[in-house]
Amino acid sequence: MRREEINVAVIRVGGTNCDLETKRAFEDSNMKAEIVHFNQLCREKDLLDYDILVIPGGFSHGDYVRAGAIWAKRLMARLGKKIRQFVDEDRPILGICNGFQVLVEAGLLPQFEGISSFPEAALGTNIPTGYNCRWVYLKLEDHSHCAFTRKTASKRVLKIPVAHAEGRFILAREKKRKQLEKLMENHQIVLRYCHSNGETANDEYPSNPNGSLYDIAGISNPTGTTFGLMPHPERAYFGWQLPDWTRNDGPPTFGDGRFIFESVAEYLTKKF
Amino acid sequence: MLYEARVEVGLKPGHSDPEGETTAHSLKELTYPIKEVKVSKTYTITLKADSHNAATIIIEEICKRMLANPTKDSVNFKVAEVK
Res. A155: pLDDT tops 80: no
Contact B18 A69 (CB under 8 A): no
Q: Which domain holds residue A77?
A: 3-271
Res. A152: pLDDT tops 80: no
Q: Which residues from chain A sit within 8 angstroms of residue B14, using beta carbons?
A: 173
pLDDT above 90 covers a percentage of chain A that reads: 94
Q: Decide if B64 touches A, using CB distance below 8 A.
A: yes
The pLDDT tens digits of the residues spanning A9-52 come to 999 999 999 999 999 999 999 999 999 999 999 999 999 999 99
The arrangement of strands across the sheet holding A216-220 comes to: A32-37, A7-12, A52-55, A93-96, A226-229, A216-220, A189-194, A132-140, A157-164
**Chain A closest-CA separation from residue B74 CA (Å):** 12
In this structure, what DSSP letter does residue A129 have? Answer: -
Q: Which residues from chain A sit within 8 angstroms of residue B12, using beta carbons?
A: 173
Res. A248: pLDDT tops 90: no
User: Would you call A196 exposed, middle or buried from its count of C-beta atoms within 10 A (0-12, 13-18, 19+)?
Assistant: exposed
Whole-structure pTM over 0.80, yes or no? Answer: yes
Report pLDDT for A101.
Answer: 98
pLDDT bracket for residue A213 (50, 70, 90): very high
Res. B25: pLDDT tops 90: yes
Report pLDDT for A266.
Answer: 97
**How far, CA to CA in Å, does A180 sit from each of A185, A226, A247?**
9, 18, 41
Res. A153: pLDDT tops 80: no
**Chain B closest-CA separation from residue A109 CA (Å):** 13
* Residue B10 near residue B40, CB atoms below 8 Å: yes
Q: Which residues from chain A sit within 8 angstroms of residue B72, using beta carbons?
A: 122, 124, 170, 172
Report pLDDT for A151.
Answer: 86
Number of structural domains, chain A?
1
Residues 121-140 of A with CB under 8 A from B: 121-122, 124-129
Q: Alpha-carbon distance A34 to A24, whole Å?
A: 10
Strands A226-229, A93-96: parallel, antiparallel or unpaired by DSSP?
A: parallel
Report pLDDT for A249.
Answer: 87
Res. A87: pLDDT tops 80: yes
**Chain A closest-CA separation from residue B5 CA (Å):** 16
Chain B residue nearest residue A70, CA to CA: B66
Domain regions of chain B by residue span: 2-81
Report pLDDT for A156.
Answer: 84
Q: Decide if B46 touches A, using CB distance below 8 A.
A: no
Return the axis-axis angle of helices A98-105 and A69-88, rounded to nearest 10°. Answer: 70
Report pLDDT for A127.
Answer: 95
Domain B2-81, CATH: 3.30.1280.10
Annotation marks residue A232 as catalytic: yes
**How far, CA to CA in Å, does A56 sit from each of A94, A102, A118, A214, A257?**
8, 10, 22, 24, 14
Contact A66 B64 (CB under 8 A): no
Res. B52: pLDDT tops 80: yes
Closest CA to B70 of B12, B26, B13, B24: B12
Q: Decide if A2 touches B, using CB distance below 8 A.
A: no
Strands A93-96, A122-124: parallel, antiparallel or unpaired by DSSP?
A: unpaired
Contact B70 A118 (CB under 8 A): yes
Q: Decide if A106 touches B, using CB distance below 8 A.
A: no
Of A18, A61, A97, A146, which residue is the catalytic one? Answer: A97
Report pLDDT for B83.
Answer: 87
What is the residue-averaged pLDDT of chain B? Answer: 96
Report pLDDT for A133.
Answer: 97
The arrangement of strands across the sheet holding B2-11 comes to: B40-48, B2-11, B73-81
Annotation marks residue A234 as catalytic: yes
Q: Please state the rounded mean pLDDT for residues A143-157.
A: 86
Res. A236: pLDDT tops 80: yes
Q: Please state the rounded mean pLDDT for residues B56-64.
A: 97
Report pLDDT for A46.
Answer: 98
pLDDT bracket for residue A255 (50, 70, 90): very high
Report pLDDT for A142.
Answer: 87
Res. A143: pLDDT tops 90: no
Report pLDDT for A82.
Answer: 98
Annotation marks residue A174 as catalytic: no
What CATH number does the domain containing A131 carry? 3.40.50.880
